[in-house]
Structure 1
């Protein structure tokens, strides 16, 4: 195959903020309020969230006139990620060939590593650019990203329902039953909003959905390791499928203690961005389910993490966050090439409503994602989405 020549001529970024009636994770609790910047702090895990679906889109244009789209984690302070791309990453890659996506990723990583920027907003920005380069390359070659990554193993991926955004356990059980009736076999609830008790919610959900549905819990980094072990051991009695994020993400020792002290799989990784962060957790056997979030990792690191998980005989169940669908398409494209992939997270309250803002045939129904077809990502943002583009002063 001849070398691809389609020099990058322009890199643009757009902050997107789509209003929503009910904030992510459900209705506001007592003591929670939306501040003047549009954020709220969830008391259950002391973490800040936007009250809108907020994200950052990246547009890379080649000299051919073709456009590659990327999206990265822009939930909080998207101005930071935008500034990094506009001021640093974008200008550096003008003239480069998008087909060199892996090499470009390594070069951009090198730019700031000695200054300590091997995580956080810098890597989020790099993820958005990385996705756009793969999309543009796929369009130039007229192949999907999965082909660029070595080949698609599946056209559908089982989806587990993430979150039951209702006010009471009874309402959440009713919602879980609705999803089961639609063909979904996996459901995860959020400990951060389990005000009536995590054990009580798990017991009620199991009674409601019966023995054959996979139930998971996101513990939202709430516990010390011994506390987490004790809690998860109690949840095991209800046939827990996996426990997610029991201790603080920086607590590697605690993660390993929990993983080795429980009888169900431990899932980790949504906040990690590179193989360098995952490697010590692989070596410590700190989890058995790996959860890369492509809005943090981009495609290049996502694939390396997934293949490293394969080498350590671990399953990959990708994380899904707030997105208009661009990096969700990237996650599905990349995930379709991996072997040990029992599920992909399905943020139904985000994914379904934002499908209207993308073109293509990507979807989720009857318990599974339908992967987009077509070249590159297989989806693009609609023109209508840009009415939600905002310029936010700091």
Structure 2
């Protein structure tokens, strides 16, 4: 008899940070009693620590699979969804039916409009854990279960330059360039002297061959975004990420049609249904699936749909403890349209001790973790830090 899921446990993991994400607070940015800070540059809330939600599935034969999703804000919401709703409906199912299970769980709340947010985040953690189990049952790496490996190595770009001044950020980027990285992305909300000054300084410091992108963090109207992107283009802008609010599909379409720079979007999307209308409108040239929001099933559907429409895929990568990062690398390696992958160095490097396995990012390239399933699992230190709910 095929193995079935016998147990579903969900945990939180909190990891202190030396520096707040995107760098030290700017004037008027205060940390509240919950440890949250709102960045004035994009009006978005961030925690002052790394925090993630981790799922552990165990089969009737004792095999364990791990999944992970966002826990940076209100982790109790995703935990409650897993504990109260998704987990019980996974018990008794075969991990080999992972795509069917994903569709069944998605359908549970379809008519209530829960096609995004915490519900799909929670589903992503379950989906990743099921794929991990499915691959471990076959004693194969996850990439093999997704159709095979298209990339031996994945190029990585340096994301975020968390230093206080523009000169310090340029020096910091140059340090990574000396380590073998040739692609970079700066965050507009903390480009204190303006985007043009930021990219001009980076270009001067990094040279003509470096690729430099700008994360615009959804703050502009369409016309503002067009003007901002055109102003950066003389300095060789690689791509412009999130130029308008996520819900402004018309605005994204307007921007993409009026600039020379490729427009990138998709970090916040949960399913392929988010991509379909944007492809129909030719609203972006680069798709940025985020594994922690989507899970393996939807990540692959988005990637394959993008490939079928000749779009580039450059996955987004916010990282908790690294479980969904490993899943993202496996899925990315199976997609021919993936040309690069985000490298959140300020999270990946200090948190890598929390995983077993050989996942790495070195000299400008990711190394896919080897071994069955995700190729990684929580380390002994991480197991001691997990808090069960």
- Establish whether TM, by shorter chain, passes 0.5: yes
Task: Tell me the residue number matched to 1:219.
Answer: 216
1:76 aligned onto 2:92: no
- Equivalent in 141, 146, 149 of residue 149 of structure 1: 146
Matches within 5 A, 1:152-231: 152-231=149-228
Match of 1:245 among 242, 259, 262: 242
Specify the alignment match of 2:333 in structure 1: 336
**What is the rounded CA distance, in whole Å, between the counterparts of 1:155 and 1:90 in structure 2?**
35
Deviation readout 1:28-83 (Å, 9 max, x if unpaired):
11111211111111111000011111110010000110100000121111100000
Q: Deviation at 1:386?
A: 3.5
Query: RMSD between aligned alpha carbons?
Result: 1.0
User: What is the CA-CA distance between 1:137 and the residue it aligns to?
Assistant: 1.0
Given that 2:95 and 2:130 are in contact with CA atoms closer than 8 Å, whether structure 1 keeps it comes out as: yes
Residue in structure 1 matched with residue 12 of structure 2 by the alignment: 15
Provide the residue aligned with 1:41 in structure 2: 38
Judge conservation of contact 1:75–1:322 (CA < 8 Å) in 2: no
Contact 1:68 / 1:136 at 8 angstroms: preserved in 2? Answer: yes
Alignment partner of 1:255 is 2:247: no
Structure 2: which 5+ residue stretches go unaligned?
Answer: none
CA contact (8 A) 1:40 1:51 kept: yes
> Which stretches in structure 1 are left out of the alignment for 5+ residues?
none
Q: Which residue of 2 aligns with 1:61?
A: 58
Distance 1:231 1:382 in 2: 44
Moved more, 204-213 or 149-158: 149-158
Looking at structure 2, the residues matched to 217 and 112 of structure 1 have their Cα atoms a distance apart, in angstroms, of 36
Residue 341 of structure 1: how far off its partner (Å): 1.4
Task: Report if aligned partners of 1:16, 1:386 keep a CA contact under 8 Å in 2.
Answer: no
**Alignment deviations for residues 112-137 of structure 1 (CA, whole Å, 9 cap, x no partner):** 01011111100000000000000011
Counterpart in the other structure of 1:100:
97
Q: 2 CA distance for matches of 1:226 and 1:181?
A: 37
Corresponding residue SS for 2:342: strand
Residue 357 of structure 2 corresponds to 360
Secondary structure in 1 matching 2:335: coil
Task: Give the TM-score, by structure 1 length.
Answer: 0.97
Task: Give the number of aligned pairs.
Answer: 389
Q: The residue matched to 1:212 in structure 2 has which SS?
A: coil
Q: Which residue of 2 aligns with 1:277?
A: 274
Matched, 1:137 2:134: yes
- What residue is the counterpart of 1:351 in the other structure? 348
Which digits, 9 at most, give the CA deviation of each residue in 1:81-136, with x for residues without a partner? 00000100000110000111100000000000101111110000000000000001
Report runs of 4+ in structure 1 exceeding 6 Å deviation: none
Partners of 1:272 and 1:73 in 2: how far apart?
13
Aligned runs of 1:319-334 on 2, under 5 Å? 319-334=316-331
Output the CA distance in 2 between the equivalents of 1:200 and 1:390: 44
Pick from 240, 243, 265: which aligns with 1:268?
Answer: 265
The separation in 2 between residues aligned to 1:185 and 1:29, in whole angstroms, is: 28
Deviation at 1:387, TM superposition (A): 3.8
TM-score, normalised relative to structure 2? 0.99
